[in-house]
C-alpha cells in the first residue's frame, strides 16, 4: 500500500521489507543512516529494542512503550508510534460520535496493540478504560505501566469472567486479541466466558464494537456484536491509517489514503483467493 501511494504521487522512493535478526538491529540502523534512508517501520521483535537507538522519541510512543515508525531528522533518528492514530482515525470520522467523556471503553486483551488502544481511548477522553485479560500477573503489570502516564491514563483491569458484568456498561468494546483471526474464524473472545456462552451478549444501544483483526472481515466477535445492534469497525482502516501516517511523516506531504486502502483491499482479496485455492 505504501508503494501504491508512492507511485500515485510520482516520487522517487520505495518501501521494502528488510528482515533483521534481533542481534543485528543496531548495526542495521547504522547502515540505514549510512545509506541515507528517509525512515522505516519496525515490527515485532524490534518495537522496544529500537528505542535506545533513537535520538528522540515522541510522547505517544513513550506512553505506548513501543515505536513502530522511525524517521531521519537533522538531529538523528526520531521514533514515534502511529498505531494509536490509526486506531482513532475511523472513530474520529463518525458522523454522530458518542460523548466520549461519558463513554466507558472496554478493551479485550493486554498485549502490544492494547497499549495503542489505551493511548487512543485516553486521547478521546473516555470516562473510564477497563482492560480484560487472562493472566492476572500480566494484567497487573499492564495496569502499573500506566500509573505514571503523563497523559494521566486511569484504567482498571479485570479477569475474563467479569466480561458479562462489564459489557452492558461499555460504549466502546475493542478486541485486541488475535481470537477469531484467520484461520481460527469460528472462535470469538466472547466465547471465553462461560456465563456469556449461556446468556446472550447484553450491550447498551449505540455501543461501538471494534475488532483490530482484518482477516476475516467481519470476525465472529463483530457478527455477535452486530446481532445485538452494535456499530462495527474492523482493523482494516487502522492498518491503512497507521501506514498513511508513517508515509506522511517520511515524505512530509499529504498521501493518497484511498489509494493505500484500495491496494490493501486488493492484496487481502488476493490472499483470500490464495487461501481458498490452498483449501480446495
Ligand atoms: P500480542 O502483543 O501478542 O497481544 C495479544 C493479546 O491477546 C495478549 O494480551 C494475549 O494474552 C491475548 N490473547 C491471545 N490469545 C488469547 C486467548 N485465547 N484468550 C485470551 N486472551 C488471549 O499481539 P498484538 O500485537 O497486540 O496483536 C493482537 C491482535 O491485534 C492481532 O490479531 C493483530 O493482528 C491485531 N493488530 C491489528 C492492527 C491493525 O492495524 N489493524 C495493529 C496491531 C495489531 P496473554 O498476554 O495473556 O497471552
Residues 135 and 219 occupy one common structural domain: yes
- Grouping H, G, I as helix, E, B as strand and the rest as coil, residue 71 is strand
In-domain check, residue 111: yes
In this structure, the number of other CB atoms found within 10 A of the CB of residue 16 comes to: 7
What is the C-alpha separation between 44 and 204, in angstroms, rounded? 36
Q: How far apart are CA 79 and CA 102, in angstroms?
A: 33
Q: 138-146: long-range contacts (C-beta < 8 A, 24 or more apart)?
A: 138/110, 139/110, 142/110, 142/114, 145/65, 146/118
Asked if residue 251 belongs to a domain, the reply is no
**What spacing in Å lies between the alpha carbon of 252 and ligand 1's midpoint?**
31
Give the Cα separation of 89 and 242 in Å (integer): 9
Mean pLDDT, the chain cut into blocks of 10 residues (280 residues total)? 98 98 98 96 96 97 96 97 98 96 97 96 96 97 90 88 94 97 94 66 91 96 94 97 98 98 94 71
Phi, psi torsion values for 104, nearest 5 degrees: -95, 125
Q: Whose CA is nearest to atom 1 of ligand 1?
A: 111
Query: What CA–CA distance (Å, rounded) separates 181 from 202?
Result: 23
pTM summary value:
0.94
Whether residues 54 and 99 fall in one domain: no
Same-domain pairing of 140 and 10: no
pLDDT at 197: 62
Q: Say how many Å lie between the CA of residue 108 and the centre of ligand 1.
A: 9
Angle among Cα 167, 168, 174 to the nearest 5 degrees reads 35
Cα of 181 to ligand 1 centre, how many Å?
10
Structural domain includes residue 258: no
Q: What pLDDT, on the 0 to 100 scale, is given for residue 247? A: 98
Q: Tell me, what's the pLDDT at 267?
A: 94
* Closest of 5, 10, 72, 80 to residue 37, by C-alpha: 72
User: Taking the mean position of all CA atoms in its chain, how far away is CA 229?
Assistant: 24
In this prediction, residue 271 carries a pLDDT of: 78
> What pLDDT does 154 receive?
81
Same structural domain, 222 and 125: yes
**What residue owns the CA closest to ligand 1's atom 38?**
212
Does 257 reside within a domain? no
Residues 122 and 51 in one domain: no
Q: How many domains does the chain fold into?
A: 2
- What pLDDT shows up at residue 35? 95
Domain membership of residue 24 (yes or no) is: yes
CA of 115 to the centre of ligand 1 (A): 11
Query: Which among 176, 218, 261 is the best mutation to test ligand 1's pocket, defined by most ligand atoms within 8 Å of the CB?
Result: 176
Atom of ligand 1 nearest to the CA of 214: 41
Instruction: Looking at the structure, tell me whether residues 194 and 116 fall in a common domain.
Output: yes
- The residue nearest atom 19 of ligand 1, judged by CA position, is 134
> Which positions are annotated as active-site residues?
47
**Among 27, 58, 81, where does a domain finish?**
81
Query: Beta-carbon neighbour count of residue 47 at 10 Å?
Result: 21
Q: Are residues 148 and 120 in the same domain?
A: yes
Question: CA 249 to CA 154: how far, in whole Å?
Answer: 30
Q: Which residues line ligand 1 (CB under 6 A)?
A: 83, 86, 109-114, 133-135, 138, 176-179, 181, 192, 212-214, 235, 238-239, 242
Residue closest to 63 by CA, chosen among 147, 132, 174, 158: 147
CATH code of 144's domain: 3.40.50.720
* Domain co-membership, 214 together with 104: yes
> Same domain for 57 and 142?
no
Q: Which domain holds residue 20?
A: 2-81
Last residue of a domain, one of 81, 96, 115: 81
- Residue 91 in domain: yes
CA of 227 to the centre of ligand 1 (A): 24
Query: Is residue 259 one of the residues assigned to a domain?
Result: no
Residues 197 and 183 in one domain: yes
Inside any domain, residue 265: no
Same domain, 77 and 122: no
In this structure, the answer to whether residues 96 and 55 fall within a common structural domain is: no
Ligand 1 atom with the smallest distance to the CA of 134 is 47
Domain edge (last residue) among 81, 115, 134? 81
Give pLDDT, residue 195: 64
Rounded CA-CA distance 101/8 in Å is 40
H/E element, 62? helix 59-64
Relative to the CA of 160, which ligand 1 atom is closest?
20
133 pairs with which residues across the strands? 159
CATH number of the domain enclosing 61: 3.40.50.10860
Q: Assess contact for 21 and 262: CB atoms under 8 A.
A: no
Rounded to an integer, what distance in angstroms lies between the CA atom of residue 127 and that of residue 66? 25
Amino acid at each position: 500500500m505504501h508503494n501504491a501511494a508512492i507511485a500515485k504521487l510520482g516520487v522517487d522512493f520505495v518501501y521494502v521489507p528488510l528482515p533483521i535478526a534481533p542481534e543485528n538491529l543496531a548495526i542495521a540502523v547504522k547502515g540505514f543512516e549510512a545509506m541515507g534512508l528517509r525512515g522505516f517501520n519496525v515490527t515485532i521483535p524490534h518495537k522496544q529494542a529500537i528505542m535506545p537507538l533513537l535520538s528522540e522519541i515522541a510522547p505517544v510512543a513513550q506512553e505506548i512503550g513501543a515505536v513502530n515508525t522511525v524517521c531521519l531528522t537533522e538531529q538523528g533518528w526520531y521514533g514515534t508510534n502511529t498505531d494509536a492514530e490509526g486506531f482513532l482515525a475511523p472513530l474520529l470520522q463518525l458522523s454522530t460520535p458518542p460523548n466520549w467523556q461519558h463513554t466507558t471503553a472496554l478493551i479485550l486483551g493486554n498485549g502490544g496493540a492494547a497499549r495503542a488502544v489505551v493511548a487512543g481511548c485516553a486521547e478521546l477522553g473516555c470516562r473510564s478504560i477497563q482492560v480484560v485479560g487472562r493472566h492476572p500477573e500480566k494484567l497487573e503489570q499492564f495496569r502499573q505501566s500506566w500509573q505514571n502516564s503523563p497523559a494521566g491514563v486511569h484504567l482498571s483491569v479485570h479477569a475474563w469472567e467479569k466480561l458479562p458484568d462489564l459489557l452492558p456498561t461499555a460504549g466502546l468494546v475493542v478486541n485486541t486479541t488475535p481470537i477469531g483471526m484467520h484461520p481460527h474464524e469460528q472462535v470469538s473472545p466472547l466465547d471465553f466466558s462461560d456465563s456469556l456462552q449461556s446468556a446472550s451478549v447484553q450491550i447498551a444501544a449505540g455501543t461501538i464494537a471494534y475488532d483490530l483483526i482484518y482477516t476475516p472481515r467481519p470476525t465472529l466477535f463483530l457478527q455477535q456484536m452486530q446481532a445485538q445492534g452494535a456499530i462495527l469497525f474492523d482493523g482494516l482502516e487502522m492498518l491503512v491509517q497507521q501506514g498513511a501516517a508513517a508515509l506522511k511523516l517520511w515524505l512530509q506531504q499529504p498521501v493518497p489514503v484511498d489509494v493505500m486502502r484500495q491496494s490493501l483491499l486488493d492484496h487481502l482479496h488476493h490472499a483470500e483467493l490464495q487461501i481458498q485455492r490452498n483449501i480446495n
